[in-house]
Amino acid sequence: MATSTSRGRALDTAAIRADFPIFETGVAYLDSSNTSQRPRQVIEAMEEYYFKFNSNIHRAAYSFAEQATEHYEGAREKVKRFINARSLKEVVYTSGTTESINLVARSWGEQNIGAGDLIVLTLLEHHSNIVPWQLLAARQGARVEYVDIDENGELRQDQFRALLEQNPKLVAFTQVSNAMGTITPAKAMTAAAKAAGATVLVDGAQGAPHLGVDVRDLGCDFYAFGGHKMCGPTGIGILYGRRELLEAMPPFKSGGDMIRTVAVEGTTFNDLPWKFEAGTQPIAEVIGLGAAVDYVAGIGLEAIHEHEVDLTGYAYEALSELPGIRIFGPPPARRSGVMSFDVEGIHPHDLATIADRHQVALRAGHHCAMPLMTRLDVAATARASFYFYTEKQEIDRLVEAVRDAQRIFA
């Protein structure tokens, strides 16, 4: 089945779904913002490592180890091209978006944030882009301020500009909201923050898989994302950092492979990016991430976004026709493939339970965005999230599940 996109292109979703063994179960998977599904190509790349050259990296001269190292560092080259970093030294492997942000908060933050300094965040943030900065502010005596949202769930740029006038040391914000799908004007916000003298971190956990990124064009200092939201394995992520910043930062973790020399008198550290990659790495997961980058890039980020806009518009119209539905966030054209909503008289957890009876995987909860839920004056929402393998008939199944829930709770 080919699905037309908003600009007339089409993705052959039937052919794409054939790459994903999990769809043989018949589930309508509408939770890709939580974690995406993995194609055979990713699974097979990881199996090849385990079956044919399972060994550690950077440590041995035998052929297995050299092959493992080649694949491990080859994945870094793929990521470098995917995000358009200037150098491989700017691409650091982490366990995911959360560790990437914590690395910056600990290593860069403790060197550069002091008493009275301002950190600017937004109410759209995932907890992983709030809590590390709150902890940093508490340790250093800094303060945190938040940019509010408007009635459409988009950031209030007037508040953002006002906070920039206070000369913040750090500005950190999401490229795409995981809870509502709001696409932020990341390039313009980065430019404004840099002009105000701030260092900028962009949370790309939802942006990299759905919109892609050119970090040089974006102009940020740090960019963080994980593999498991873009068809890769869990436990592997990326921190992009400008080389001059990473060079000046102390290691985040210490141990093997992040050192150059160790003596009783002291230690000297390895070159970038290995200075930040202590211990035995998740080698199979890194190789899987490289395969995921190939797969997503092969489909094309523009085609993925167009497909999601089409799906989101379809879901927006279909849900809006039901009584008692409140949809959160901006119009479909200004959001990624996320539909967060509330059904009058039905708790989101109850709705998700009923949806499961229809083999519809629907997320319910605060989506690790409790400040945003407080701002929306709800305890939780139901969230359907889409990716390039999502089909409209799965949205139809969601709508029928909502109708069923409304009949049960009538």
Whole-angstrom distance, CA of residue 396 vs CA of residue 30: 12
Q: Residue 296 pLDDT more than 50?
A: yes
* Tokens 């179960």 -> residue: 25
Residue 10: pLDDT band with limits 50, 70, 90: confident
Whole-angstrom distance, CA of residue 170 vs CA of residue 302: 30
Mean pLDDT, to the nearest integer, of 395-410?
A: 97
Q: Where do the structural domains in the chain lie, given as residue ranges?
A: 13-30+300-405, 44-297
Mean pLDDT, to the nearest integer, of 293-307?
A: 97
Catalytic-role residue among 368, 370, 379, 399: 368
Whole-angstrom distance, CA of residue 55 vs CA of residue 60: 9
Instruction: Dihedral sign for Cα 236, 240, 243, 247, please.
Output: negative
pLDDT above 70 as % of the chain:
98
pLDDT score, position 367: 97
CA distance to 18, 95, 354, per residue, from 9 (Å): 20, 35, 35
CATH of domain 44-297: 3.40.640.10
Residue 60: pLDDT band with limits 50, 70, 90: confident
pLDDT score, position 321: 96
pLDDT score, position 5: 37
Residue 62 CB neighbours (<10 A): 9
CATH of domain 13-30+300-405: 3.90.1150.10
Mean pLDDT, to the nearest integer, of 355-373?
A: 97
Residue 9: pLDDT band with limits 50, 70, 90: low
pLDDT score, position 267: 87
Taking only the tens place, the pLDDT of each residue in 79-138 is: 999 999 999 999 999 999 999 999 999 999 999 999 999 999 999 999 999 999 999 999
Q: Residue 4 pLDDT more than 60?
A: no
Q: Residue 323 pLDDT more than 90?
A: yes
Q: Of 123, 129, 155, 206, whose CA–CA distance to 330 is shortest?
A: 155
Catalytic residue status for 231: no
- Least confident residue range of 97-111, 139-153, 215-229, 254-268: 254-268
Whole-angstrom distance, CA of residue 186 vs CA of residue 206: 13
Q: Of 190, 157, 156, whose CA–CA distance to 172 is shortest?
A: 190
Taking only the tens place, the pLDDT of each residue in 194-215 is: 999 999 999 999 999 999 999 9
pLDDT score, position 337: 95
Q: Are 147 and 159 in contact (CB under 8 A)?
A: yes
Mean pLDDT, to the nearest integer, of 58-62?
A: 84
pLDDT score, position 6: 36
Q: Residue 22 pLDDT more than 60?
A: yes
Q: Of 41, 42, 70, 44, whose CA–CA distance to 55 is shortest?
A: 70
Q: Report pTM.
A: 0.95
Q: Of 16, 56, 15, 52, whose CA–CA distance to 32 is shortest?
A: 16
Q: Residue 159 pLDDT more than 90?
A: yes
Q: Residue 3 pLDDT more than 50?
A: no
Whole-angstrom distance, CA of residue 307 vs CA of residue 301: 10
Residue 7: pLDDT band with limits 50, 70, 90: very low
